[in-house]
Every structure is written in C-alpha cells, then in structure tokens.
Amino acid sequence: MHGPAMSGWLLMALCAVTGAYCLLRSGGETAEGRRTARAEALMGFGMAAMAVPAAVVTPPAWGWAVYAGLFGAASLRALWFLRRGGHHLHHLVGSSAMVYMALTMAPGGGAAHGGHAGHGVATAGGVPLLTGLLLAYYAVYVLWSGSRLIPVAATATAGGGIGTAGGGWSTRPELALACRLTMGLAMFAMLLAL
C-alpha cells in the first residue's frame, strides 16, 4: 500500500487487532460461525501484512504472488461456501479484492505496470473501473454495516453492557459487526491508496 508511513502503521495495527479478535471469536461459535470468523481473521491479518509501509519493510517480489495465491484460495473457498449463505458473497468480494491489490502492487507485473488489463487504460492504481467498483462496494458496505451497528449498540447498552448476560466479550454481536465495519473501512482506505 502506498502512502504516508504513519497511516500505514495505524492501518496495520487496526487490521491486526481486528484479525486477532476474529480469531478469538472463532472459539465460541457454531461450525458456520467458526468458518466466518476464521475467514474474517485471515482477511484482517492479510490486510495488516499488506498495510505495512513499503518505505520501512519492502516485501520480497515473491510476496505478492503469495498474497495472490493465498487470497485466490480464500476466494475459491468463499465461492464454495456461498451456497450456504449470503455473507460468503462478501468474503468472495473481499478475497478477490485482495488478489486484485496484490497483483496491482506486484513489481514488474499486474495492471499497475502496463499489463493488458483494459488494453492500456491501466494506471498506477490498477484498472480504474475495477478500482472504482470496489470502492463503491466498500463505501456501501461500510454505510450498511454501520447502520446495523447502531441499533445493536443501543440494545447492548440497555442490556447491561459488554460481558454480562448473553456471553463473554468474544461472543458479542456488536463487536463482530464493529470488526466487519473496521475491515470494510480499512479495505476502502487500501483501495483508495492504490
């Protein structure tokens, strides 16, 4: 991800903490909930690794291929589980966006470096139409998940707060929504910085 080092470090820390919470959340879930929490943890940790400022730590050239392969496999997994629920569509879009960013940021290849995508219309930020569509998707997703968070937060406050009746802090639905909101904002920022 290109941009100032401080914002990169903050984004990295935010995504790493979100990924860690999602991983902790996977322990107290049903089978479907565990799959979702683990997919979200992978996304959080992957985004954290991708957000490390390049001026401080330059990833090896093969690192971008590893990102693309890992999130390509995650995309296929999300496509497989899409038959079980609509939330996996969001995981499919997210994993595919990570593949796209990895290919765009890879040195000497991808759309950012004069690839054939768009027949020469590609810029340093990837294929403008695809980047714009992903930005629009994440803008809508952030607004939607934020609007879902408001009523849940009001209900949680009325019920006694975090960690009371209804489970521990790792099973709170408003925290899961906050994590999804955070990752959506982080993905929007990363796409904007391409």
pTM: 0.79
Asked if 179 and 22 count as a contact pair (C-beta separation under 8 A), the reply is yes
What's the average model confidence in pLDDT over 90-114? 80
169 vs 33, residue with greater confidence: 33
What confidence tier does 165 reach under pLDDT thresholds 50, 70, 90? very low
Q: How far is the C-alpha of 15 from the C-alpha of 8, rounded, in Å?
A: 11
145 vs 57, residue with greater confidence: 145
Tokens standing for residue 31: 């089978």
Q: How far is the C-alpha of 134 from the C-alpha of 27, rounded, in Å?
A: 31
pLDDT tens figures, 44-97: 999 999 988 877 788 888 889 999 999 999 999 999 988 877 778 999 999 999
Q: How far is the C-alpha of 142 from the C-alpha of 147, rounded, in Å?
A: 8
Identify the sign of the CA torsion 4, 5, 11, 14: negative
121 vs 89, residue with greater confidence: 89
pLDDT at 53: 86
Is the pLDDT at 6 greater than 80? The verdict is yes
Q: What 3-state DSSP class applies to 161?
A: coil
Q: Any idea what DSSP says for residue 126?
A: B
Output the average pLDDT for the chain.
Answer: 81
Asked if 37 and 172 count as a contact pair (C-beta separation under 8 A), the reply is no
What one-character-per-residue DSSP string does 16-35 give? HHHHHHHHHHGGGS-HHHHH
Q: Any residues with CB less than 8 A from the CB of 66 and at least 6 apart, and which?
A: none
Pick the most confident of 94-103, 115-124, 151-160: 94-103
User: Within 5-127, where are the H helices?
Assistant: 5-25, 31-51, 61-81, 87-105
Pick the most confident of 11-15, 114-118, 120-124: 11-15
pLDDT at 118: 37
Q: Which helix (H) or strand (E) holds 168?
A: none
Is the pLDDT at 117 greater than 80? The verdict is no
Which range among 28-42, 83-97, 104-118, 119-133 shows the weakest confidence by mean pLDDT? Answer: 104-118
Q: How far is the C-alpha of 148 from the C-alpha of 152, rounded, in Å?
A: 7
Q: How far is the C-alpha of 180 from the C-alpha of 173, rounded, in Å?
A: 11
pLDDT at 109: 54
What share of residues in the chain are helix, strand, coil (percent, to 5)?
75, 0, 25
148 vs 151, residue with greater confidence: 148
What's the average model confidence in pLDDT over 114-139? 70
